[in-house]
Amino acid sequence: MEGRSNTKPVERRRFPRYPCTGGAEIFQSGRRWGWAAVNEISCGGCYIETLHPLPVGAEVPLRLTIADISLDVCAKVTSADPMVGTGMIFGTVPPKQWNNLTQIIE
């Protein structure tokens, strides 16, 4: 067939994403900058819904609360969709926080 490709799009994510419902506190300079809703999470990052996304490349501490489990991580903005949300990739996750992350995903 002309004009159509039979190849599937390449999956760039290292980890599968899971739908979730939770909250995110975003911090800058040691103070809470804002709140957002978390709607997807993986072992490598999350997607948060916010009307005012941070710029791509910004690194911020996050406190995610999902299913009554809190996760404190540093994350970097990988995508920003104005009036929609922000894709975040986690930095190094400390062992205690890793346990919380795996509980959230399970």
> What's the burial of 80, exposed, middle or buried (CB within 10 Å: 0-12/13-18/19+)?
middle
The domain total for the chain is 1
Q: What is the distance of C-alpha 41 from the center of its chain? A: 6
Q: Assess if residue 8 is contained within a domain.
A: no
CA Rg, the chain, in Å? 15
Q: Assess if residue 3 is contained within a domain.
A: no
Distance (Å, rounded) from C-alpha 49 to C-alpha 54? 11
Q: CB-based contacts of 76: which residues, under 8 Å, 6+ apart?
A: 57, 58, 59, 88, 89, 91
Taking only the tens place, the pLDDT of each residue in 44-100 is 999 999 988 889 999 999 999 999 999 999 999 999 998 899 999 999 999 999 999
Q: Is 72 helix (H, G, I), strand (E, B) or coil?
A: strand
- Residue 92: which CATH number? 2.40.10.220
Whose structure tokens read 């739908």? 19
According to the model, what pLDDT value does residue 29 have?
Answer: 82
Number of helices followed by number of strands (H, E) in the chain: 1, 6
Q: Assess if residue 99 is contained within a domain.
A: yes
Distance (Å, rounded) from C-alpha 10 to C-alpha 94? 30
Give the residue numbers spanning the domain of 29.
18-105
**Predicted structure pTM score:** 0.81
